[in-house]
Structure 1
Amino acid sequence: MASSDDLKYVYKLVPSSAPIPESLPDRLPVSDLDLQSGFIHLSSARQVPNTLKFFFKDEPLVYVLRLEYAGVEDNIRWESPDAKICGPRDGEGMFPHLYNGLKLGKKEIESVAVWKNENGWDHALENAASWLI
């Protein structure tokens, strides 16, 4: 588990098939996976690369939503990923899951980045190194 003292942001990756409007609404649509799980799947900065490469490998672009951890910390549970879906995620630790009634919108989102898949995600990750903290 992390505290707000050592974790500044958590991230939500959203596929290009669910475009993010320029003006964020109070509540964005929730993915089928999040609906089935009953919480919003998030990643720490360290977990984003493998989440991106595994779950979004065929997406042409991804919206990366950055949430200030201190603003959502009370509704975060740190839980182990289900290895049935993508196998063990060794060294990545527990994942942040947002339990707030599946609400994610302008109140929770600090900023949005758009990353393009250019023959893999490495180039996007290199360009985002100073933003993905």
Structure 2
Amino acid sequence: MIYKLLSSAEWDDALAVGAFAGSAVDRQDGFIHLSSGDQVVETARRHFAGATGLTLLRVEEERLGDALRWEPSRGGQLFPHVYGSLPVTAVVAARALPVDLPVPDAVAALLG
């Protein structure tokens, strides 16, 4: 499984149209940033600390086909990137982050 953190409003919009076209940063970079299970807590700490109203998507890699590429990023680690939109049919679970925990701890709790 791979993971995507996004605002709950962005997820609601994706559900309405059937696909997630990416956040502002994703669109700027030309692909949708995702993380492996080993990377998502650090991604939460680096890029979402202090944010509220977030949802964690659990995405089935095989449902993405050729749109998914593993490419080097932070520290040379390979990260999953989706070129194009992320279809909601590839998402096997979407869970809102608990508001009573810091974002990285909330992500860790949802993974555990």
- When the two structures are superposed, what TM-score results if normalisation uses the length of structure 2? 0.80
- Note the alpha carbon deviations across 1:86-126, whole angstroms, 9 max, x for none: xxx45x82111111x2x123222111011134352354234
Normalized per residue, the structure richer in helix is: 2
Take 2:25 and 2:108, find their aligned partners in 1: how far apart are those partners?
A: 28
- Residue 82 (structure 2) pairs with residue 98 (structure 1): yes
Q: 1:77 to 1:59 in 2, by over 3 A?
A: same
- Residue 2 (structure 2) pairs with residue 10 (structure 1): yes
- Residue 110 (structure 2) pairs with residue 113 (structure 1): no
Q: Which runs of 5+ in 1 are unaligned?
A: 1-8, 82-88
Normalized per residue, the structure richer in strand is: 2
- When the two structures are superposed, what TM-score results if normalisation uses the length of structure 1? 0.69
Q: Which runs of 5+ in 2 are unaligned?
A: none
2:62 aligns with one of 70, 80, 85: 70
Q: 1:113 to 1:78 in 2, by over 3 A?
A: same
| RMSD across aligned positions (CA) | 2.5
* Higher Cα radius of gyration: 1
Q: Secondary structure at the match of 2:20?
A: coil
Q: Matched residue pairs, number? A: 111
Residue identity over aligned pairs, in percent, reads 32
